[in-house]
Structure 1
Amino acid sequence: MEFKDYYAALGVARDAPQEAIKKAYRQLARKYHPDVSQEADAEARMREVNEAYAVLSDPERRAAYDQLGSGAPHADGPFRPPPGWDAGFEFGDGAGFDPGAGDYSEFFSELFGRMGRSGRSGRPGAQRPQGSARGEDHHAKVLLELDDAWLGATRRISLKAPELDAQGRLHLRERTLDVKIPLGVKPGQLIRLAGQGGPGLGGAPAGDLLLEVQFAPHPRFRLDGGTLVAELPLAPWEAALGAVVPVDLPAGRSVKVRVPAGAQGGQLLTVRGQGLPGSPPGDLELKLRVLLPSGLEPRARQLYEEMARVLPDFDARKQAAALGQETDA
């Protein structure tokens, strides 16, 4: 995916006030609008300008985009947003967009396609209804530690909400909330905080705040719904002869797992009910990884040489092919 430099597309500085962004857009629209422009690439340039303005004219999208940093376009290889890049940003319903309303790039769709869950198109500057009206719901993505799903916890969450000052420059207003994390919470699950969204009008109640749960990357585990996925390293004799081995789980827990004799590296072993807590609990899925002692160690080398003499007919390539055929079947 190609990174889009929206500031360069409009020819404005990263700290440009909203009025400067609007002025730049109008000038470029007059230059590249296909109905009046004589430029050969007018249609493509107009798409770029429209997309850049859709982001930079909206404080919430612009704040999230700025989080990626100005150095992103210079990274080697295709651009991928880092995990949790938009965590901690508080968005109103208006941060969403209608995918059918414009010709947006993959970059735009990847970053902004799921912001806001109310289904509103969220046009920047749209007027709110007059009189009494319930406040709009706000949304934010929060990054939790995996242990929180096993223990349940109360965590202090910091959120940043974009707003414009009197000069039209973007600032982030921060607030902290103590949030109860339910036991067994899943990735993508929403935690609703009543009355913590946008203020109501005319004495009407405030909207709610919906926190979308994501988990920070873990060195050993990942969650696939309620299934806990991990790798299980084995010694060659444990795989060949079978063994009962301990497996560490999140939150300091562990379980003993029986490995069948003749297990192979890459094989999946499922342990029922040892995944994410819940009713019912998820499963634990282990990918077996057989680790060999180094042949540079004298005792191991001696045993390898003995195996080579005793098992001259063992052909690893043929066995791998046979195992592959069994898997396909």
Structure 2
Amino acid sequence: MAAQDFYEILGVPRTADREEIQRAYRKLARSYHPDVNKDPGAEDRFKEVSEAYEVLSDPETRRRYDAFGRDFRQVPEGVDPAAYARAREGARAGAGPGAGWARGPAGEDIRFATGEGIDLDDLLGEMFGGRGRRGRAAGRGWGPVPGADQEAELPLTVEEAYRGGRRAITLPSRGRTRTLKVDIPAGVTDGQRIRLAGQGGEGGEGAQPGDLYLIARIAGHPRYRLEGRDIHVKLPLTPSEAALGATVAVETPGGEAKVKIPPGTSSGRRLRLRGQGMPDPRGRPGDLLAEARIMVPPTLTDEERRLYEQLAGVSAFAPRSGGRTRS
């Protein structure tokens, strides 16, 4: 069975832009990542999705994939895609002896035979500067080719991004998986790239490998919302804390912090704790912005009800008219 097309694996059209490809990958990777999906086939599916994204997210490798299909890694630069396709078709057809011509990587015309008994590896070796079996034996080749840089997404929680630290990640590699140890800097932000030197694509003929760039993707959180390095959090208050003022505790990704509530605080007011947001190894950390939310008990005790009724009887506060009904 022919290998599935990378576009089909991601479920995107061939005209998809980079953002469409990235969205499709993120959705599928969340579904099939071995850490969250224990189905026996999930890991293989995750490998397929990751390989497809690895190729299609890079403009250069995508261009070569569109031109040469899954053979793109074996085809040297400069080979004419149309000539390559004609050579393969001629080799497959085997429709009697004959000859054909193809444009080589240096622009030269290369003659090849067609028909019964043709050896596709030898034919492509002649076309591509000695990369077939005979070319390798004769020592011809294109010389060392540095490995390509690669990208992969690194999913993080808000707490992991805040604290940083060392973490193991699993990535697909040549039909298998490999595990890498990654040092995550404290205060990494969504979209930030972490470079792992020498962990990208393998180089050809002993050349240096490329680099791997991990793109941090910080997941949504039920308590925290990030805007750059600022952290937004809801701060529930009792009516008395809001009216009289108080000092209350608020949870942050780095632990508990104290917030001073000014008297007369209403819901929606933002209280800023400078420097309590996401760390920044190169500068000033972000801020924590606690948004006041005044809460009342869903049910009242008899004493609470008596006191609220007493307050209602003496209070002149009229929030809907913007002032007081009496002084």
Rounded Cα–Cα distance in structure 1 between residues aligned with 2:261 and 2:76: 62
Rounded Cα–Cα distance in structure 2 between residues aligned with 1:153 and 1:128: 41
CA contact (8 A) 1:90 1:139 kept: no
CA contact (8 A) 1:140 1:210 kept: yes
Question: Which structure is richer in relative contact order (CA contacts within 8 A, separation 6 or more)?
Answer: 1
When normalised by structure 2's length, the TM-score is: 0.59
Residue aligning to 2:303: 299
Equivalent residue runs for 1:102-117 within 5 Å = 116=58
| Among 134, 143, 150, the residue aligned to 2:155 | 143
What secondary structure does 1:275 align onto?
A: coil
Rounded Cα–Cα distance in structure 1 between residues aligned with 2:31 and 2:256: 40
Deviations 1:32-78 (A, max 9, x none): xxxxxxxxxxxxxxxxxx963567xxxx98876755779xxxxxxxx
How much does 1:271 deviate?
1.1
Residue aligning to 1:95: 56
**Looking at CA atoms only, which structure, 1 or 2, has the larger radius of gyration?**
2
Structure 1 spans left out of the alignment, 5+ residues: 1-15, 26-49, 71-84, 97-115, 164-171, 321-329
Residue aligning to 1:230: 233
Deviations 1:21-40 (A, max 9, x none): 69xx9xxxxxxxxxxxxxxx
- Structure 1 vs Structure 2 CA RMSD: 3.6
Relative to 1, partners in 2 of residues 1:63 and 1:143: Cα closer, same or farther, differing over 3 Å?
Answer: closer
Relative to 1, partners in 2 of residues 1:183 and 1:64: Cα closer, same or farther, differing over 3 Å?
Answer: closer
| Among 5, 13, 19, the residue aligned to 1:52 | 13
Relative to 1, partners in 2 of residues 1:90 and 1:310: Cα closer, same or farther, differing over 3 Å?
Answer: farther
| Among 272, 277, 280, the residue aligned to 1:270 | 272
Equivalent residue runs for 1:196-207 within 5 Å = 196-207=199-210
Report the count of equivalent residues: 228
Query: Does the alignment pair 1:122 with 2:126?
Result: no
| Among 310, 315, 321, the residue aligned to 2:318 | 315
CA contact (8 A) 1:295 1:301 kept: no
Deviations 1:277-303 (A, max 9, x none): 222111111111111123543222112
When normalised by structure 1's length, the TM-score is: 0.59
How much does 1:202 deviate?
2.4
Deviations 1:201-249 (A, max 9, x none): 2221111110011223333113221111111111111111111112222
Structure 2 spans left out of the alignment, 5+ residues: 33-45, 78-141
How much does 1:17 deviate?
4.0
Rounded Cα–Cα distance in structure 2 between residues aligned with 1:273 and 1:68: 33
Deviations 1:113-141 (A, max 9, x none): xxx4x677535234443432211111111
Rounded Cα–Cα distance in structure 1 between residues aligned with 2:229 and 2:25: 33
How much does 1:95 deviate?
1.7
